[in-house]
Structure 1
Amino acid sequence: MLCTRRAVGMALCLFAASLPALASDLTISNFRVRGPAGGNDEFVELHNGSGAPVDVGGYALLASNASGTTGSRATLPSGTSIAPGCYLLLTNRASSGYSGGVVGDVGYNTGVTDTGGLAIADGSGNVIDQVGLSSGSAYGEGTRLASLGSSNTDQSYARRSDAAGNVQDSGDNAADFTVQAPSVPHNSASTCSDVGLSVSVADAAVPEGDGGTTALGFRLTLSKPAPAAGVQVRFTTADGAATVADGDYDALDQVVTFAAGDTAQTVTVTVHGDTRVEPDEDFAVHLSEPSNGLNIARGDAIGAILNDDAAEAEIFQIQGDGAASPFVGQPVITRNNIVTSVGPGGFTMQTPDRRDDHNRLTSNGVYVFTGAAPQVTVGDAVDVRATVAEYYGLTELTHALVSVDSSGHRLPRPVIFGRDVPSTDPAHLSCGTTNFECFEGMRILVLDGIVDRANQRYGNDPFAEVFVSADGTRSLRSQGVPFGTLPSDIHSGVWDGNPEVFEMDADALGAVPAGTGIDAGARFIADGVMSYSYGDYDFQPTRLRILDANPMPRPVHDSHDPHALRLGSLNMLRLCDTDGGNSQYECGDHGTPGEADLKLKLQRLSAYIGGVLKLPDVLAAEEVESLPVLQQLADQLAADYHITYSAHLVDGHDPSGIDVGFLVRTDRVRVDQVTQLGGDATWVDPGTGQSTYLHDRPPLLLEATMLDRRGFSFRLMAVHPKSRIGVDSGADAPRNRAKRFEQARDIAQDVQKLQTDARSTYEPLVVLGDFNAYPFTDGWVDVVGAIAGTYDDSANQLDLGGNIVRPALWNAVQSVPSNDRYSFLFTEQLGEIQGYQRAGSFDSGRDVPVAQVLDQALLDRQAQRCFRGFEYGRGNLDAPDQTQDDAAADPGIRKAIGVSDHDGFVLDLSCPGHARHRR
């Protein structure tokens, strides 16, 4: 069983077992790396085949692709254990993730390739069990399993087992596993398999009482009836916070006997009551010396003595000025507070304004957990007697006795969230060391809200929380290294990590119906209460009014000039062909696509290019595997819109085969020449010391002429440099920064040659594509600045020694309103800061969705004279996760929603009176 559950009086969690399980008894017993919902519809089931619990806190789920590249997918939370014969289920919670009906115990967010492998490793990195789906996987035992392919069907690999349910682990994957269809995963709540005769002792708790003695009974259970000869085990107590010396309880040491056929016995410990107001206390019990044939499955438990002597306190005293209440585990009475919200299992209440302590570090609100629909109404004045608990970081009152004093009261004034609250400065947060803790349980009013990220999908909730800002400004990336990182240069600046962003659970208190999707970019007014849920602060509105829904998709506008040249760019998120053997690594993130997968991808891209970008004259395409598959996209566009595009692509050196290319409308543009630039450029890789190709995806130059009575010749350079993965930190960071720098310098040299040759006086030059870089420095290397000629050595770790491109190019992104300057959404993990990731949380710290500009267009002076407009087409970033998945089955333009992880753009050039040079 998984040691995480709602506490009763106090947290009662398992101690380590007295008999440790053998490492070989923990196995990966069932898994799939693709399911009905797609490549992320994954689960990994672990099984404990021993007669004792296994403490798996700190264990890691590892994965490999078919080329042996490995990485971690999840780290199991501290305190996680798997009881004898029981299971633990890990599920992928990313977009289009796990869809099964058996709820996962632990989540992860990065998928496993169809031909990869899996391993479970202990806290020291020792691999306990592993399974592979190809010979190239870094993980596997004996003969590897065959990949189950790329069809989205409900099937998994399950270990063979005997009649008793014990799984087989011979050390040979092919012999141990069999295909299971449909898949039948088990979680910590599933029925456990029989692993022999064992005994377990359960935690127990009892109210202390005001005097006299109380019997505290501990239940000892056998996994099956005792044999004819009977069995026995020794039961002993040991001091904890409760001690024998203080008269809290009487020590006990006795042998417990199970007669033939018995399955359980109860052992009683005597507890002494008093009238002192004190925290809950506990002592330990321990099983030892089992008779022959008996295993100890769970040999340690806690006896909790629950203090029932309540202290009178105001809510702000209960909350305190720290992350946790100073009254945790203690009973309290708090009187005459106003109910501010009512939910299905509890309510919030707040101190009346006249009793406010005026301390910004303490909250005046608190959540009262009732476990069922509370019998109170908003505006009631209530007295509550309860025990204070911290539920995964949320201060709450449990075991509550509630009495209503009066009704119809005016609610306490809300805290207004806006420009200054919550703070945008991580060095001066609203609540001292956090930005939201001092508002926990309190009324909040948001007057200028904007949604930063649409609904996530979490577990069985397809439309879970959205991320929002209260000042009307999107969560955008700004210049500099991330907050908490040592500055790379004194002038680079530090990006603050957007501490003002928080989550909103719109349907938690019924402000919208369950299942309501809210698009990013939507503007709203809301009031409600601030909560805290599993590691994240969570605003729960009681009223929500959407002012501008920003429905998806949002196509670009029609060109104002019918004679304008419309240029576009789109990262196509690995448009891969069905040939899995034409590159070193598989092109697709989830394996080589099948014919049906590719057909759907082409239809969705066509809907985006035709419906959202409105059929640009030239489209630069990034992340395309081959010329034939780009031509298939051109054929799809011809079938859908009766427009003919010619496809152009030159293979590069990317290990997974992705390249840059062009689609050119033959009715609007004549292609004069397509040339790959820098394809032979090399550098010495500091990681290997070997000379290798500099550009994985070399730039591609298109020279063409617009076929219009006002047409003109032009040149486009499509680029897609190295990504920012591993740039901010890690052992490979210096190497990654250096390669990005050298690529940018090489591209800049080509740009300068083009803008200084004879044709530059009459031919516009545009450098466009996915730059994998911001329009400003990230503190390490300003890739865009180097290519544009605006590089500042003082603001970058690596010095260019003077700009290569002169005069500088202009970035058309600057013409876009600031709130619309983004083409990619990245969830930044900022670690254990600002009150996030407290003890017991399963999250990895503060995660912030950040809107970034990666897709850009740089214009030389001729192109600037012709510039008429720049706009992003919206459809891939702002819709809820579930909406993006559902859109695949939609007709028309909605089919485009979610086809890529980038939004594309269009750029209009019109050159009236310009030289009409024809080659």
Structure 2
Amino acid sequence: MPSKSSARLAALTVAAVCSTVATMVVVPSAAHADTVHIHDIQGTTRLSPLAGQKVTDVAGIVTGVRTYGSSRGFWIQDTAPDADRATSEGVFVFTSSKPTVAVGDSVTVTGTVSEFVPGGASSGNQAVTEIVKPTVTVISSGNAVPAPVVVDARSVPAAYTPAGDAAASGSVNALTLRPKKYALDYYESLEGMNVQVKNARVVTATDPYTELWVTVKPDENDNRRGGTVYGAYTSQNTGRLQIQSLGAVADFPTANVGDSLKGATTGPLDYNQFGGYTLVANEIGTLKQGGLKRETTRKQSRGELAVATYNVENLDPSDATFEEHAAAIVNNLQSPDILSLEEIQDNNGATKDGTVAADQTVRKLIDAIVAAGGPAYDWRSIDPVDLADGGEPGGNIRQVFLFNPARVSFTDRPGGDATTATGVTKDHGKAALTVSPGRIDPANAAWTNSRKPLAGEFAFRGKTVILIANHFSSKGGDQGLHSQFQPPARSSETQRHLQATAVNSFVKDILKVQKNADVITLGDINDFEFSDTTKLLEDDGALWSAIKSLPKSERYTYDYQGNSQVLDQILVSPSISRGCDFDYDSVHINAEFNDQISDHDPQVLRFKP
């Protein structure tokens, strides 16, 4: 999903549930009973029938206390539940300051019912029912906490969500919850309650913000390395659940995909801006390691051209990851003949001083590769216009070609710069670029505040191969899979569709000149292999995404919110895709690991031109 920067933004803090932007949703009041229970507050939809009203002496047992971040407060749960499965028996009490209650306290709370939308209404997120401006009375302490509801493969429905109400812009907020039919309804019916998962497998590694993801459905779209594959918009993984902790950061498990939390992980079920439904644990299971190892691809044969794409995550000379990236390229990727690198930053990284050159960044990486036992790569790229290509402000990220001159030569045709477009011509009956390296249609509005494709012409054993290196616009701004709007809006697609159309048009120009030209379009496409973005890249058979040559369970390059998914792709022209002498490998060295040096896995294509 998102590029590195947007993915990190999507996990800013374990207190992210407490976005400083809140939306109060007020709905028509229900009749006010003499005694209000938590299930009366929660109601049978996602919005409380008492939103905006003051409630008095709401009783419950404290099940969890959050003392950190800007969403300090505690959860209470009624010990006298009703018989309606749609109504939750738990609710969050927002205190703003550090709560003075403890788990096991029996309390009454007087305050106002509100609906807090983490991230604000524009995020599309669901609302969290809360009691705010509370007056809390402790009746007794040391009481037993209500037994947790066990969330497991049997209790979570196979269907993910109902379709939203068309009359409400696709929102599910007003729909009556059907917890036996839909997974999101099931989780919502437990909002604020004490829940538990047992022996849960980790499907997204521990991140720097002390959170991880597990699945309670071990067989749901699983892959051989322990993850859960996201293979279609209509095939959501319902067993995913984010895990955070109410305990000390130092006690949180450092887990990789395929590890498991043995025993019970127990705590209130929350909903936050950066992942949706989240078990905030008072008790967390014991980490059992799954022994996941980083993959190594095979070495290309003498007659094979090995082409790779690798997002090196905002690499600049001040980073400490050069040796690790070099070791990965030499050992895990087996020194590909050509590397398309994304997110190479300029020589001073995020400093905004007009610097756009990246020669120091690239040279430091090449030197590290040589030191690691790899080839002395040569390189080609085009410096962007300062601050024009998006990414981290001041970083001026761009794509760079590395190539092994002992095996591959680059065909230089001068004239390329940040604003000059390369075109297609005929040279001795073959398709050729007018400018190499060159940018594709850089003035096209499709590339506004986004990276422009870098085209280059290479020669391998006398055969011409044209490469187009890409880094499409990110998924930032899309509504989450857990959104109140179903299906969620993917607004970021609009620009990627324009970008895909522009690249496809350029490839068609090449194929008009030479039908059997070897063309490879590769990079961080920031979209799935089943997406409309990919379909537009492939339009009229001009290209084909080679990751689809892998079994569905092996199609992933990135891991986000419990979903192993495709963002990085290598697409090939018919002369390559229709042959029998190519193979593809998604080399899993980063995305599944807590100590990743990039959030993307590199991809390698080997073929005989």
> Would the aligned equivalents of 1:678 and 1:699 in 2 still touch at CA under 8 Å?
no
Does residue 636 in structure 1 map to residue 357 in structure 2? no
- 1:517 maps to which residue? 254
| Separation in structure 2 between the aligned mates of residue 700 and residue 673 of structure 1, nearest angstrom | 8
| Separation in structure 2 between the aligned mates of residue 605 and residue 776 of structure 1, nearest angstrom | 26
- 1:813 maps to which residue? 547
Shift of 1:539: 0.9
Amino acid aligned to 1:544: G
Shift of 1:772: 1.9
> Would the aligned equivalents of 2:63 and 2:103 in 1 still touch at CA under 8 Å?
no
The match for 1:719 among 438, 454, 469 is: 469
| Separation in structure 1 between the aligned mates of residue 364 and residue 250 of structure 2, nearest angstrom | 42
SS of the equivalent of 1:645 reads coil
- 2:266 maps to which residue? 528
Cα pair distance change 1:755/1:420, threshold 3 Å? farther
Does residue 772 in structure 1 map to residue 500 in structure 2? no
Amino acid aligned to 1:785: E
- 2:509 maps to which residue? 749
SS of the equivalent of 2:457 reads strand
Q: Summarize deviations over 1:327-353 as a string: whole Å, max 9, x none.
A: 964333658x8x87788886654547x
TM-score normalised to structure 1 length: 0.43
Q: What are the equivalent positions in structure 2 for 1:195-210 lying under 5 Å apart?
A: none
> Would the aligned equivalents of 1:568 and 1:616 in 2 still touch at CA under 8 Å?
yes
Q: Summarize deviations over 1:649-705 as a string: whole Å, max 9, x none.
A: 1537765576544433456x25375677364788696869xxx9x993332232213
Larger Rg: 1
Q: Summarize deviations over 1:148-195 as a string: whole Å, max 9, x none.
A: xxxxxxxxxxxxxxxxxxxxxxxxxxxxxxxxxxxxxxxxxxxxxxxx
| Separation in structure 2 between the aligned mates of residue 733 and residue 773 of structure 1, nearest angstrom | 9
> Would the aligned equivalents of 2:586 and 2:601 in 1 still touch at CA under 8 Å?
no
- 1:597 maps to which residue? 318
- 2:339 maps to which residue? 619
Q: Summarize deviations over 1:186-223 as a string: whole Å, max 9, x none.
A: xxxxxxxxxxxxxxxxxxxxxxxxxxxxxxxxxxxxxx
**Between the two proteins, what is the percent identity of the paired residues?**
16
- 2:588 maps to which residue? 873
Amino acid aligned to 1:326: L
> Would the aligned equivalents of 2:63 and 2:268 in 1 still touch at CA under 8 Å?
no
Shift of 1:456: 5.2
- Structure having the higher strand fraction is 1
> Would the aligned equivalents of 2:75 and 2:92 in 1 still touch at CA under 8 Å?
yes
The match for 2:604 among 897, 903, 906 is: 906
- 1:823 maps to which residue? 557
Amino acid aligned to 2:602: G
Does residue 554 in structure 1 map to residue 294 in structure 2? yes
Shift of 1:638: 1.0
- 2:428 maps to which residue? none
- 1:855 maps to which residue? 569
| Separation in structure 2 between the aligned mates of residue 404 and residue 627 of structure 1, nearest angstrom | 65
| Separation in structure 2 between the aligned mates of residue 718 and residue 782 of structure 1, nearest angstrom | 17
Cα pair distance change 1:784/1:732, threshold 3 Å? closer
| Separation in structure 2 between the aligned mates of residue 543 and residue 853 of structure 1, nearest angstrom | 32
Shift of 1:750: 2.1
Alignment size in residue pairs: 489
Cα pair distance change 1:106/1:826, threshold 3 Å? same
- 1:700 maps to which residue? 456
> Would the aligned equivalents of 2:41 and 2:48 in 1 still touch at CA under 8 Å?
no
Does residue 503 in structure 1 map to residue 239 in structure 2? no
Cα pair distance change 1:534/1:704, threshold 3 Å? closer
| Separation in structure 2 between the aligned mates of residue 661 and residue 640 of structure 1, nearest angstrom | 20
- 1:155 maps to which residue? none
- 1:317 maps to which residue? 40
Shift of 1:870: 1.0
Shift of 1:361: 1.9
Cα pair distance change 1:681/1:616, threshold 3 Å? closer
Cα pair distance change 1:748/1:726, threshold 3 Å? farther
Shift of 1:770: 0.7
Q: Summarize deviations over 1:689-727 as a string: whole Å, max 9, x none.
A: xxx9x993332232213xxxxxx9684624316535799
SS of the equivalent of 1:746 reads helix
| Separation in structure 2 between the aligned mates of residue 650 and residue 874 of structure 1, nearest angstrom | 26
SS of the equivalent of 2:580 reads helix
- 1:651 maps to which residue? 382
Does residue 664 in structure 1 map to residue 410 in structure 2? no
Shift of 1:411: 3.3
> Would the aligned equivalents of 2:500 and 2:537 in 1 still touch at CA under 8 Å?
no
Q: What runs of 5+ residues in structure 2 fail to find an aligned partner?
A: 22-30, 68-72, 117-127, 165-171, 222-226, 345-356, 390-395, 414-431, 479-488
Shift of 1:749: 3.5
Q: What are the equivalent positions in structure 2 for 1:75-224 lying under 5 Å apart?
A: 94=9
> Would the aligned equivalents of 2:213 and 2:242 in 1 still touch at CA under 8 Å?
yes
Cα pair distance change 1:674/1:874, threshold 3 Å? farther
> Would the aligned equivalents of 1:620 and 1:663 in 2 still touch at CA under 8 Å?
yes
The match for 1:784 among 528, 537, 553 is: 537
SS of the equivalent of 1:416 reads coil
Shift of 1:464: 3.0
Q: Summarize deviations over 1:289-319 as a string: whole Å, max 9, x none.
A: xxxxxxxxxxxxxxxxxxxxx9556543353
> Would the aligned equivalents of 1:716 and 1:766 in 2 still touch at CA under 8 Å?
yes
Cα pair distance change 1:514/1:681, threshold 3 Å? closer
| Separation in structure 1 between the aligned mates of residue 549 and residue 110 of structure 2, nearest angstrom | 57
| Separation in structure 2 between the aligned mates of residue 730 and residue 415 of structure 1, nearest angstrom | 29
- 1:431 maps to which residue? 177
Q: Summarize deviations over 1:328-383 as a string: whole Å, max 9, x none.
A: 64333658x8x87788886654547xx650x232013456899346374xxxxx96
| Separation in structure 2 between the aligned mates of residue 871 and residue 315 of structure 1, nearest angstrom | 49
| Separation in structure 1 between the aligned mates of residue 229 and residue 190 of structure 2, nearest angstrom | 24
Shift of 1:810: 4.9
- 2:310 maps to which residue? 570
> Would the aligned equivalents of 2:310 and 2:603 in 1 still touch at CA under 8 Å?
yes
| Separation in structure 1 between the aligned mates of residue 471 and residue 247 of structure 2, nearest angstrom | 46
Q: Summarize deviations over 1:29-84 as a string: whole Å, max 9, x none.
A: xxxxxxxxxxx9xxxxxxxxxxxxxxxxxxxxxxxxxxxxxxxx9xxxxxxxxxxx
SS of the equivalent of 1:699 reads strand
| Separation in structure 2 between the aligned mates of residue 547 and residue 521 of structure 1, nearest angstrom | 9
| Separation in structure 1 between the aligned mates of residue 313 and residue 278 of structure 2, nearest angstrom | 32
Shift of 1:741: 0.9
Q: What runs of 5+ residues in structure 1 fail to find an aligned partner?
A: 1-39, 41-72, 74-92, 99-104, 109-277, 280-309, 377-381, 458-462, 480-493, 576-592, 706-711, 758-764, 787-802, 828-847, 884-896, 912-916
> Would the aligned equivalents of 1:414 and 1:443 in 2 still touch at CA under 8 Å?
no
| Separation in structure 2 between the aligned mates of residue 324 and residue 727 of structure 1, nearest angstrom | 27
Amino acid aligned to 2:189: C
| Separation in structure 2 between the aligned mates of residue 464 and residue 681 of structure 1, nearest angstrom | 41
Amino acid aligned to 2:402: L
> Would the aligned equivalents of 2:56 and 2:111 in 1 still touch at CA under 8 Å?
yes
SS of the equivalent of 2:99 reads coil
Shift of 1:785: 1.4
SS of the equivalent of 1:532 reads strand
SS of the equivalent of 1:437 reads helix
| Separation in structure 1 between the aligned mates of residue 329 and residue 279 of structure 2, nearest angstrom | 37
Cα pair distance change 1:452/1:678, threshold 3 Å? farther
| Separation in structure 2 between the aligned mates of residue 375 and residue 348 of structure 1, nearest angstrom | 9
The match for 1:544 among 285, 298, 317 is: 285
> Would the aligned equivalents of 1:647 and 1:664 in 2 still touch at CA under 8 Å?
yes
> Would the aligned equivalents of 2:335 and 2:375 in 1 still touch at CA under 8 Å?
no
Shift of 1:508: 1.6
- 1:606 maps to which residue? 326
Amino acid aligned to 1:556: T
RCO higher in structure (CA 8 A, sep ≥6): 2
Does residue 364 in structure 1 map to residue 115 in structure 2? no
